[in-house]
């Protein structure tokens, strides 16, 4: 059985900051590391923005619920009915609670601050050499009992574990989905030498977590390129990219068809922009390198957008254009 009081997160970027916030929401002390003060500062700003959005949502959710009921049923609720809804939908997150969550997160650029963590989640750039060096550093910086998890979406967990010498049995994948504040899936992926007890402990830890909306839903999957969700998603998205490249349908109609016909909350091209064209590019390249592409013709649009720096929402332009 594993008791987790303090979580170490390596990487303060898109996923690292969001994972750190998720852990703090669940009451854990967090130390979040990146390579320099500017990266750490940006990560803390991301967390502050997430918490601001959370407070805003809770402050307005009762009025939104009232508006939705009145619009859907074409009625005017009484003052008593509105008051009942406001009581049911009363905010569970206010500014004071958000501030306490924020204060649980310690930004750092020094691995010395990882000396008392109980679990580590790495979320740095999808580069094998970089990840192996991070895990080598973590082996030196943390206690021997601490599980060392990677949030990689496509790289080999076993190859990442080669960065450590004596604790490969503690290395495994713990893959969250962006944004983890709304998406509850966590893929737990053991490497070749990961001990079963470590997998069980991390599964149990993940099952105890809640994001802003739902209990987290961990699944265990043997190591395979793309794991479960990204392996399936990559195939579906590639078909959508090919339809767009071939001019068979517009981007808006492709996304509309998938949302209204398949029940996706977001279309495949919208999703690529949301996740980041660079992330989709790296996933596709990783799958190809591991022999899991398998398409009759590879879509080129992601490579082209990546080269142009059109990375989706983060850059203001991907398949779609975004204003500030």
Whether the CB-CB separation of 152 and 19 falls below 8 Å is answered with: no
Whether the pLDDT of residue 297 is over 80: the answer is: no
Q: What CA–CA distance (Å, rounded) separates 188 from 151?
A: 9
Mean pLDDT of 62-87: 95
Locus of tokens 């713990």: 174
231-243 pLDDT, tens digit each: 899 889 999 999 9
- The secondary structure of the chain, three-state, reads CCCCCEEEEECCCHHHHHHHHHHHHCCCEEEEECCCHHHHHHHHHHHHHHHHHHHHHHHHHHHHHHHHHHHHHCCCCCHHHHHHHHHHCCCCCCHHHHHHHHHCEEEECCHHHHCCCCEEEECCCCCHHHHHHHHHHHHHHCCCCCCEEECCCCCCHHHHHCCCCCCHHHEEEEEECCCCCCCCEEEEEECCCCCHHHHHHHHHHHHCCECCCCECEEEECCCCCCCCHHHHHHHHHHHHHHHHHCCCCCHHHHHHHHHHHHCCCCCHHHHHHHHCHHHHHHHHHHHHHCCCCCCCCCCCHHHHHHHCCCCECCCCECCCECCC
Determine the average pLDDT of the residues in 205-216: 97
Mean pLDDT score, 160-183: 96
| Structural tokens at position 105 | 């997160």
- The CA distance from 171 to 220, in Å, is 14
Is residue 34 pLDDT above 80, yes or no?
yes
Q: Tokens for 271?
A: 């999703």
Residue 131's pLDDT is: 98
Distances (CA, A) of 172 to 120, 192, 263, 279: 10, 9, 32, 21
The closest alpha carbon to 205, from 32, 26, 12, 20, belongs to 26
Q: What is the pLDDT of residue 248?
A: 96
Residue 155 has pLDDT above 60, yes or no: yes
173-202, pLDDT tens digit by residue?
Answer: 999 998 899 999 999 999 999 999 999 999
> CA 61 → CA 2, 52, 89, distances in Å?
36, 14, 7
pLDDT at 290 over 80: no
CATH class of segment(s) 6-220: alpha beta
pLDDT digits (tens, 9 = 90+) for 76-128: 999 999 999 999 999 999 999 999 999 999 999 999 999 999 999 999 999 99
- Specify the pLDDT at position 324: 66
CA pseudo-torsion sign 27, 23, 162, 133 = negative
Beta carbons of 127 and 154 less than 8 angstroms apart:
no
Cα distance between residue 18 and residue 276, in whole Å: 15
- Name the nearest CA neighbour of 132 among 109, 115, 155: 155
Closest CA to 251 of 237, 230, 265, 261: 237
Instruction: Please determine, for residue 291, whether its predicted confidence score (pLDDT) is greater than 80.
Output: no
The closest of 194, 202, 135 to 162, measured between CA atoms, is 135
Report percent pLDDT > 70 for the chain.
98
Token couple for 92: 């569970």
Fold of 228-315: 1.10.1040
Could you state, in order of their start, the residue ranges of all structural domains in the chain? 6-220, 228-315
CB 156 within 8 A of CB 186: no
Task: Classify burial at 309, counting beta carbons within 10 Å of its beta carbon; exposed 0-12, middle 13-18, buried 19 or more.
Answer: exposed
What pLDDT score was predicted for residue 292? 62
């Amino acid at each position: 059985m594993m008791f987790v009081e303090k979580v170490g997160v390596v990487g303060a970027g898109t996923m690292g900051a969001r994972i750190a916030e998720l852990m703090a929401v669940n009451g854990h002390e967090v130390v979040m590391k990146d390579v320099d003060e500017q990266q750490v500062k940006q990560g803390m700003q991301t967390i502050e923005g997430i918490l601001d959005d959370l407070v805003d949502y809770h402050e307005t959710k009762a009025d939104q619920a009232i508006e939705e009921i009145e619009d859907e049923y074409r009625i005017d609720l009484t003052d008593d009915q509105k008051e009942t809804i406001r009581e049911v939908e009363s905010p569970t997150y206010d500014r004071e609670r958000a501030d306490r969550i924020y204060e649980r997160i310690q930004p750092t650029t020094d691995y010395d601050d990882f000396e008392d963590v109980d679990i580590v989640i790495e979320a740095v750039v999808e580069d094998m050499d970089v990840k192996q060096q991070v895990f080598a550093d973590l082996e030196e910086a943390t206690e021997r009992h601490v599980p060392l998890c990677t949030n990689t979406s496509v790289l080999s967990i076993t190859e990442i574990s080669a960065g450590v010498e004596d604790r490969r049995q503690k290395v495994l994948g713990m893959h969250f989905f962006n944004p983890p504040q709304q998406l509850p899936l966590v893929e737990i992926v053991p490497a070749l030498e990961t001990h079963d007890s470590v997998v069980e402990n991390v599964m149990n830890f993940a099952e105890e977590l809640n994001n802003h909306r739902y209990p987290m839903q961990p699944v265990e999957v043997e190591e395979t390129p793309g794991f479960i969700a990204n392996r399936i998603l990559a195939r579906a998205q590639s078909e959508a990219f090919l339809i767009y490249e071939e001019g068979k349908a517009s981007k808006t109609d492709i996304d509309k068809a998938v949302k209204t016909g398949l029940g996706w909350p977001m279309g495949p091209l919208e999703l690529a922009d949301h996740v980041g064209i660079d992330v989709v590019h790296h996933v596709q390249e990783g799958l190809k390198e591991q022999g899991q592409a398998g398409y009759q013709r590879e879509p080129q649009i992601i490579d082209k957008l990546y080269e142009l720096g059109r990375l989706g929402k983060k850059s203001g332009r991907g398949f779609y254009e975004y204003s500030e």
